[in-house]
Amino acid sequence: MKKYRLMQIPPIRFGVVLGLINGVAGMIIAPLFLITLGIAFTAEATGHTPNFFPAVPWFLAGGLAVFTPVINALGGFLAGVLIAMVYNFAARWTGGIEIVLEEKP
C-alpha cells in the first residue's frame, strides 16, 4: 500500500468539472419546474386555487426551464473554483488529504 497526499487542486479544472455536474443536474431539474408550474397555472386557471401568479406568464416558466441548467452550471463553476482555492490554502497549513492506494496484483 502506498500513501499519497493531495496537496493542490487546480481551481479552473475543478470549477469546470463541478459546473458540468451542476449543469446536468439543472437539466434534470428543469422539467420538474415546468411540471410544477404547469400544475400551478392550470389549477389557478380553473379557479381551484387563489390567484398566486397573476403576472407570471407561461413564457417566464419556459425561460426558467431554459436558463436553469445555465445558471446551475455557472454557479457550480464559481463554487468549484472557490472550493478549490480554499482547499489549496488549507492544504498548505494542514499537509493536505492523505490517500492510501493499493496496487492491483
Q: Which three cell numbers stand for residue 42?
A: 392550470
> What is residue 56's predicted lDDT score, i.e. its pLDDT?
61
> What is residue 75's predicted lDDT score, i.e. its pLDDT?
97
Grouped pLDDT means (10 residues each) for the chain, 105 residues: 91 97 93 80 67 63 84 96 96 92 85
> What is residue 13's predicted lDDT score, i.e. its pLDDT?
97
Q: How far, in Å, CA of 63 to CA of 45, rounded?
A: 20
> What is residue 84's predicted lDDT score, i.e. its pLDDT?
96
Q: How far, in Å, CA of 17 to CA of 89, rounded?
A: 20
> What is residue 57's predicted lDDT score, i.e. its pLDDT?
65
Around Cβ 56, how many Cβ atoms within 10 Å? 14
Q: How far, in Å, CA of 26 to CA of 41, rounded?
A: 22
Q: Which three cell numbers stand for residue 60?
A: 417566464
> What is residue 64's predicted lDDT score, i.e. its pLDDT?
80
Domain regions of the chain by residue span: 2-101
